[in-house]
Amino acid sequence: MSIAIIGLGYVGLPLARLFATKYLTIGFDINKERITQLQSGFDKTGELDSESLKAVLVSETSASKGLLCTSNPEDLQQSDTYIITVPTPIDKNNNPDLTPLEKASKLVGGFLKKGDIVVFESTVYPGVTEEFCIPILEKASGLIFNTDFYAGYSPERINPGDKTHTVDKIKKVTSGSNPEIAQHVDQLYASVITAGTFKAASIKVAEAAKVIENSQRDINIAFVNELAKIFNLLNIDTQAVLEAAGTKWNFLPFKPGLVGGHCIGVDPYYLAQKAKQVGYHPEIILAGRKLNDSMGPYVASQVVKLMAKKDIKLKNSRVLVLGITFKENCPDVRNTRVIDIIQDLKEYGAQVSVYDPQADAELVKLEYDIELLQHLEDKLFDAIVLAVAHREFEQIDLEKLKANTAVVYDVKGFLTEGVDGRL
């Protein structure tokens, strides 16, 4: 058996490494620089350490098991199982962008043979696999679905930056285009997933299960974000309220904050899109999205108010933002909502500096036109906003970074003292 993984990002690479411990696995990515780095044993996403990556790397397709990383499409032709793990983003209008999925399907379709199986892991709304991807595969291959080739869907559940809940330790939902294929796909994942598998009733059920996972988290976070706004007006510490409420056994432990990244801040729009297609306007889902998207400007306004109370001149004030990635202890800056805080503070007239030891400085410059600070020595700031709770920030002495009069705002409830405001 030869497995091809299409897309070697945060999802595809850990999965490819896992399968490579038992099967010959062809890891394909269009980014040649990414492939060169992986071939040398370096993963810039930080999901795999050099030792675990190098342990499975092979250089020939004749190997019985191991991971061959390649940007050459021709290396895919000997595979019989294709797993597509490309991103599914949204456009500037928050509409699903299936372009990466379309391109990946065309690529795989060009190599399909009779008996091959294509499994999709990308987060989509129900129906995308069978109604969007399968026709592309049929056209590109000239083969007939469920006669010549087959499909499955097994939603990714990777949690970037999480070294505890790794891919093998997260229960895997599986599905297939007919009962036999469903069983085959389930057994394939079960052979490497120690946490076990769950065989969904259909591909659409598996697609729906995934898209509601992050939608549920988004709505719950929106609720506590709204609470934070209310309690701020009431001059009540939100963290203290949540701590007290959390003493009840069935209280859900969500915290307020920025909701970005490539999953929670995106997936609800996929579900909403499908709902609209069938004539239903989703109210709670979109209301939660709207509220969560408002939190960056809200934080910026709170910082400005605190500065005004201390008579700190806003125009040309020096503001330090700690962290720009979408979550703590992770270098991923995709769809980070920290950028909303930065942009709003700049519109108020502040000079904003950003420090993030985990983020890729070149990527931040490319995506957001921001030059990250390389160090914090000999710099004093009128306001400091802790936006991301990186472990490195535990060691920072904020007192040495504060001007004579300064404001400290904690978005994450991370700091224990010296804080003027927080969500």
The catalytic residues are 263
Structure tokens at 214: 């992050």
> Which helix or strand (DSSP H or E) is residue 174 part of?
strand 172-174
Structure tokens at 108: 């795989």
Chain centre to alpha carbon of residue 280: 27
Q: Where are the beta strands (DSSP E) in 298-361?
A: 318-322, 351-355
Is residue 394 exposed (0-12), middle (13-18) or buried (19+ Cβ within 10 Å)? exposed
Q: What is the rounded CA–CA span in Å between residue 373 and residue 320?
A: 10
Is residue 177 exposed (0-12), middle (13-18) or buried (19+ Cβ within 10 Å)? buried
Q: What is the rounded CA–CA span in Å between residue 358 and residue 165?
A: 20
Contact 265, 337 (CB under 8 A): yes
Could you give the C-alpha distances from 360 to 14, 49, 266, 323, 342, in angstroms and in order? 20, 17, 22, 12, 17
> Which of 249, 229, 247 lies closest to 238 in space, CA to CA?
229
The amino acid occupying position 356 is: D
Residue with tokens 């809200």: 298
